[in-house]
């Protein structure tokens, strides 16, 4: 039995809240996929903690979006089709190797940090930002320190970190409105990591308009199958 999909409204306020919420949920889901696969126990817990932080942020943001659309946080997470998601493409990409996961977490967290600290006119979002910025500050610290060690580590870890940075770079245009500020925060870490900063050229986009990679559909299929198959299922 399939559950009918919902289509929240197109107003800018709703779209803004959903974009923030979807970024947090999808990156949180991707990060949670490391559970049981992390390179060492300590990192397993670190990634699980970060995933939980992000999903917690997503819940608060979906509640804020729900105030405008009348939907519950579960409905917004589980009953929308890929085209109704507003997350940036970078968060839906598969985890790749550990270097890719860490480089992405770093790039996205720096963008989130800028956004939380820039503040919002919308009081519902300001309340979320207040709490989220402390969590995000730790995500940056964790990801940056790992990126520095991977880049400035062994020949193999350097190669993998550089490949991750190069592969992710075209997806970083969508996560920030102020690229100069984002680059200013990212560049010193890349230098310490002995990694080459790629040249800015053509950037991927489309996530904010609901045009996603094929990866989001697979992610949502796995994430949504239970609530869609058994509506209202409880633990």
Partner 1 sequence: MPEPTTTLWEVFIRARNGLSHRHAGSVHAADAEMALQAARDVYTRRGEGLSIWVVPSAAIVASDPSDKDSLFEPTGSKIYRHPTFYEVPEDVGNM
- Please give the Cα distance from 62 to 24 (Å, whole number): 10
Of the two residues 97 and 122, which places its CB atom closer to partner 1 in the complex? 97
Of the two residues 145 and 163, which places its CB atom closer to partner 1 in the complex? 145
For residue 86, which of 10, 159, 144 has the smallest C-alpha distance?
10
Minimum Å gap between C-beta 49 and partner 1 is: 5
Minimum Å gap between C-beta 151 and partner 1 is: 14
**41 touches partner 1 by CB under 8 A:** yes
- Please give the Cα distance from 8 to 44 (Å, whole number): 35
**145 touches partner 1 by CB under 8 A:** yes
Binding range to partner 1, per CB under 8 A, among 19-27, 34-42, 98-106, 221-229: 34-42
Tell me if 143 sits within 8 A of 164, measured CB to CB: no
**Residue 232: left if φ>0, alpha if ψ -120 to 50, beta else—which one?**
left
Q: Could you say which residues in the range 42-81 bind partner 1, by CB under 8 A?
A: 42-43, 45-46, 49
Place of tokens 């796995």: 222
| Interface ranges with partner 1 (CB under 8 A) | 39-43, 45-46, 49, 141-142, 145-146, 149
């Amino acid at each position: 039995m399939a559950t009918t999909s919902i289509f929240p409204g197109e107003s800018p306020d709703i779209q803004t809240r959903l974009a923030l919420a979807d970024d947090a949920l999808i990156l949180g889901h991707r990060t949670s996929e490391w559970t049981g696969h992390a390179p060492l126990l300590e990192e397993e817990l670190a990634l699980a903690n970060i995933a939980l932080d992000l999903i917690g942020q997503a819940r608060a943001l979906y509640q804020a979006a729900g105030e405008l659309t009348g939907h519950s946080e579960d409905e917004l997470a589980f009953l929308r089709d890929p085209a109704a998601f507003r997350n940036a493409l970078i968060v839906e990409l598969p985890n790749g190797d550990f270097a890719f996961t860490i480089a992405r977490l770093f790039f996205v967290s720096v963008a989130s940090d800028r956004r939380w600290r820039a503040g919002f006119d919308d009081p519902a979002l300001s309340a979320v930002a207040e709490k989220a910025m402390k969590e995000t500050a730790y995500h940056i610290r964790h990801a940056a320190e790992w990126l520095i060690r991977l880049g400035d580590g062994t020949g193999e870890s350097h190669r993998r970190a550089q490949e991750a940075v190069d592969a992710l770079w075209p997806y970083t245009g969508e996560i920030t409105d102020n690229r100069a500020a984002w680059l200013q925060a990212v560049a010193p870490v890349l230098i310490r990591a002995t990694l080459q900063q790629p040249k800015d050229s053509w950037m991927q986009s489309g996530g904010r308009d609901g045009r996603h990679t094929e990866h989001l559909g697979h992610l949502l299929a796995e994430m949504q199958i239970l609530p869609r198959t058994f509506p209202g299922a409880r633990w």
